[in-house]
Structure 1
Amino acid sequence: MRFRPLASLSVAAAAVLLIAGCSASTPDATETTSEAPVSGCESQLKSGAESDSIEVAGDFAAEPSVTIPDGFAPAGLERSTVIEGDGDAIGQNEVLEANFTLIDVATGEVQLETLSSDPDGMDTLVNPQQIFGAALECARVGTRTVSVFPDGALGEGSAAFVLVADALAKLPVRASGAEVAPVDGMPTVELSDDGAPTITIPEGEAPTEVKLENLIQGDGDTVAPGDQVIVQYTGVKYSDGSVFDSSWDRGAPTQFGTDGVVDGFRQALEGQQVGSQVVVVIPPAFGYGADATSELQNETLVFVVDILGVQHAAAA
C-alpha cells in the first residue's frame, strides 16, 4: 500500500533522520557516560566528545535539565548514555513508550517536549532512520540518552538539535487486547504463532460500502484524526484473496498518518484504541477507485490491521 509522505513540521517531521539503517526510578545524573550497547545490537549513533559535552540533570522519567556549552555547533551525529537502564533490551523495529525533549542548539528553546503531552510516554517505532528510534536503539528500558544532530540532519535548512530520550517500556508488536467474536459474512482470519494473519474471503459479491469489525479490542489510547499510527497489517484482494501488501512479510511494523492513506483505511484507524485488531473491507470508491495509475483501481480490498501505537497530532 502506498502512503503519502510526512510533510508537516511536527512529531512526524522531527522523526526524520537522514542516516542509513542497520541494525522505575534511577539515580540523578549530571554527566554523560560512554555508550554501552546491548550485546549483539549495534546502534547507528556512537558516543563522542560532542554528545559527552552535553550535561543532563534530573531523575529518569522526569523533566531533564540540559546544559549546552557556549558556542556549541555539533559536526556529526552522536549519542551518549546519561542513565544506564537494566530493563529489556531495545532492538530495531520494536515499539517503545518513551519521553523526548528536543532542544534547538542555537536558541536553547525546547521545540518538542512529550512529558506533558504524553505523560505515559510517546509511542515510538525503533527505527534507526528516525531520530526518536535512533536515540534509544540498542539501549535498555530505564535508559536515558542524549543525542546531538548537526545543522541539516532533519532536512535541508534544519537547525542543530539536542535530544534527550527516556526509554520507559516496550509495547507488544501484535494486537494485545480482548478477543471479540467475528461478524458473520466478513472475511475470516487465522493468526500464525507470531500474529501474522491469513485472510479467507467469503463467498458472494463484494460489499459496496466500507465494512469494519474488531477481532481484538484494545484498551490503549484512542487514534484521532491526523495522528501517526504504528501498525502491522496485511492487505488482500477481495477478488481472489491474494496478498498485495503486508508489513508482516517485510518483517517490521510501519508508521504513517491517518491522513496519508485511502479513506477506507482511515476509517479503520480513527476512533480505534491501541492494542486493537481491525478487519476492514474497502470498495474501490473508498480505496484506489479514483487512481487510474493504480493496479488496485477496480479492486475491493481487505486489510487486517494491528494497532500497536499512536503519536497524537496534538503533540506537535
Structure 2
Amino acid sequence: MKLTRALAPVALTGALLMVGCAGGGSANADASGTDCLAEGDASASIKVSGSVGDDLKLTSKTPVSAKEVQRSVLTEGSGDVVEKGQTVQTSMTLFNGSDGSVLQQLPASAVTLDENQLNGWAYEGVRCATKGEQIALAAPYKEVFGDTDPAQSGLEGVTKKDSLVIVMEFGEIKDADEAAAAAGEPGTLSDDELLQKAEGKAVAAPEGFPEVELAENGEPTITIPKGLKAPDKLKIATLIEGKGEEVQPGDRVYVNYRGVIWRTGEEFDSSWSRGEPIDFLTTGVIGGFQKALEGQKVGSQVISVVPAEDGGYGAAALKQQGHKADDVMVFVLDILGTVHADDAKASDEK
C-alpha cells in the first residue's frame, strides 16, 4: 500500500488512508471549510476492539462491501482540525473486508497534511483529523491500490473484488516547524521565501538526453526524441545553473518537478500540474532525486533520467505503480529553496 506519491520512498510507512468526518465532537469539514467525506452503510457497520496499529480486531459482521470510499467516526476527537502543513500522529489497521482478517498493523507515525505528497485516499483520510478521533473506512480495492495486481500489493488473500476496512486513530497535531524540530529535521520556508522558477545560466544538456522546452512561467515540457534509446544507468545533467545556496545531504529542498515515462513520453507525476511546489528531505527520496539535487545550487534546473534499478524504485515497485518493470523515468526539477540540515543541529545545540 503506497501512501505517498512517486517522490517518497515506496516502503510502507505508518499513516493514513482516506476520508472525512461526521458530527458530534468530530469535524464536519476540514480546515478550509470543505465537507469531509460522508459515511455509508458499510463504514457505519464497523466495530472493533483492541488498540489501533497494534492488536486491533474487527468484531462486526463480514463480508463488508463498499462500492465507493465511506467513512464513519468510531470515537469522537476534540480540538482543532489539522491544517495544511501540520503533522498528525496517525496509527492504522487494515483489514480484508471479505473475512475480517488483519492485513497490516501500522503503529503511530507523524503524517504531514500535504496534498502534493500524499495519495488521494491518504489525503482524504487525514484532512479532517482531530486529536483523539478514531475512524473506520470502507473502500473497494481499486480506490486504494488502483489497477495494481493483488500479488504485487504485498497483501495475502486479497482480490480485486474485495473491499478493505481501514481503522485510523489520530493523536498529537503539530505545526511543521515544531514537528521538524522535534524530529531533528530542518525547518520550513514560506511561499514568499521561494523562487518561482529556476533562474540562472542556461546550459545545453549532453547528447542522449530528452529535450526540454520551458514555458514563460518556467513549466517544462519533456520530449523523448524518436529512436533515442533509454539508458540503463542513472544520468543527470544541469540545464540551468543557479546562484543560490548549495543543497547539502539531509537538507529540506523545495522543488517544482515534472516526471514522464521514457517509453511513452506521458506524464505520471508533476507538482506543476498540481499548482504548487513540493518539499522533502534529500535523504528521504529515491537515489535518482537525491543525486540530482545534492551539490546543486538553489535556482538550478536539473534533468534526471532514472532506470528502475539504478536510482529508481525497482522493477516490483514500478509494476505496483502501474508501469512496466523496466520503465525509465525522466524528471526535470527546479530547485526553489533549501533549509540546511546543519541549521536543525545548531538549533538543537542552543
TM-score scaled by length of structure 2: 0.45
Bigger fraction of residues in helix = 2
